[in-house]
Chain A
């Protein structure tokens, strides 16, 4: 009986701690288009990245580079006004090859995260 009460109390306390405040956290990459590690047949015009949290645009960035390290961004990355967890960057026309996407994100609660991945253009 005591055990049951303790378990119930523990879950209740956890629930109370979690429920009252708005949820905030680190912004991690949820998914992207082109997808992480994927091969696309033709040059994408835009790189889309969706994060797990809303981002602060002034302190977040995305850079796409080719094999030589040259940027292939066609302008700065922008946050979708209708979805502040989506980061988009227009791309130049990409010849076949491997491209590296580097991102740095500051979530609205000031947690900083970063990451990188590659995708390929051309026949897989």
Chain B
């Protein structure tokens, strides 16, 4: 029972974890790694995610969050992101609402690796800082958001399958990330490993590189995918989610929707199957000023 209560207290933090990472997209050769919803991808670019709406039922309440994220390039390869969300909890006992802590990310992307045709390999490294104390005091005091900050060195990668022989497998791609989360106070909030993987099937890639389909155009702009994100604290059980869904890519924006399914029993104790939807704008498509371009027009890797 005590484990259940502990899990219940941790529920809001877990619910918010799934979309606390920065999100960006990246183009590598003729592969576009789209923006994923519950995890980050290896890209560095000028983008805006607004809003990201997450609806999550828990045993005692309905938790919703309305998130924002701004991704800004400093150089062509180096960028930062700021993200947060407004969270609400509605239950029979109490109703809570307020801003979550702000998270900032600094990320540097290695240039796309294309040593042979369609290698489509890209990776990046980043540092994610959760700034405790920047959110609502009421939420913090109730345990709904983190009261302890953390810093997470993170490795990201993406690999397209454009180099496989079987044509209809070429639109497949995987992306992933691995973080070591160092808590500011490990005694109060454990250090953790966080890892995530996405498997994507790009209909645009199929249409442009393999086989043009005579289907309505909106179908050829979709990328079905599944995201799998886990957190393994040094103390306590692992928790995570499996998020199957669809991304729709227009030329200058992306719309994504996924179900968020608890990945294991420990997660099911604290949250049910939820839903996430996100509108994402590629700012470089709209603005030629610094707002849509790197501040310094050079690549540190070159």
Contacts and interface: CB of A to CB of B under 8 A. Distances in A.
Interface of A: 2-3, 6-7, 10-11, 13-14, 17-18, 20-21, 23-26, 28-29, 31-32, 35-38, 52-53, 109, 111, 113-117
A24 B253 CA distance: 11
Interface string B184-223: 0000000000000000000010011111100000000000
B286 A23 contact: yes
Nearest to B118: A116
Contacts of A26: 27, 251, 285
B29 A3 contact: no
A116 B212 contact: no
Contact of B66 (A7, A31, A32, A53): A7
A119 B32 CA distance: 22
B53 interface: yes
Contact of A17 (B29, B48, B167): B48
Question: SS class of chain B's interface: helix, strand, loop or mixed?
Answer: mixed
Contacts of B282: 25
Contact of A37 (B53, B211, B283, B288): B211
Closest 9 interchain pairs by CB? A37-B211, A115-B30, A10-B51, A25-B285, A35-B212, A36-B212, A25-B251, A29-B208, A21-B286
B207 A2 contact: no
A14 B208 contact: no
Given A10-B66, A18-B281, A52-B251, A3 B88 contact: yes
Contacts of B286: 17-18, 20-21, 23-24
Given A13-B50, A18-B281, A115-B30, A28 B68 contact: no
